[in-house]
Amino acid sequence: MLIKQLPSLLPLLLLLVACKSKKATVPEEAAHDSSLIVVTDSSNAGVTDSIAAVTDTLRVDTAKLIGKWIQPVAGLDKEMQGFQLRRNGTAKSINMYTLVYEKWALNNDTLFLWSHSEGVKDTAAVVDTTIIRELSDTSLVLFPLKAAEGYTDRYRRSH
């Protein structure tokens, strides 16, 4: 059976032998072609960043957060809503009857507000995570982490 296949394998064997015995040569014009310059792989090279990281973390005085913070209700500018942050870490909703704030915490410039809903179908507990962008004696500007870039919630202190 091998003898019957030999005539069809012979050209393949000859080609294989010819390829192995022939040295690879570079044509003269390719040897001087500048587009074939060898570039050293630098992917393993250590990269040192000379630019120091700049943090935009706001230093927040916890005592300034204590109190009532309100904002106009969307579409009802005369009505106000918001929250009260108490010294003991508890929080209370202002004029939001279905959203009940329970407690709050501060970590650097991040304000966490724990809440749940009442009187609605979905009563799941939620932790609102917001970055404090501005804080003064009279105003508070928050950026909710789940909001679109540039969106902010603005509150003013209420007495």
Cβ neighbours of residue 134 closer than 8 Å, sequence gap 6 or more: 58, 140, 141
> Per-residue confidence of the chain (159 residues) as pLDDT tens digits?
545 555 565 565 555 555 555 454 555 555 555 545 554 554 454 544 444 444 456 778 899 999 999 999 989 989 999 999 999 999 999 999 899 999 999 999 999 999 999 988 888 899 999 999 999 999 999 999 989 999 999 999 998
Phi-psi region of 82 (alpha: psi -120 to 50; beta: other; left: phi over 0): left
Digit-coded pLDDT (tens) for 21-59: 545 455 555 555 554 555 455 445 454 444 444 445 677
Q: Tell me the sheet residues that pair with 81.
A: 71
Indicate the residue type of 52: A
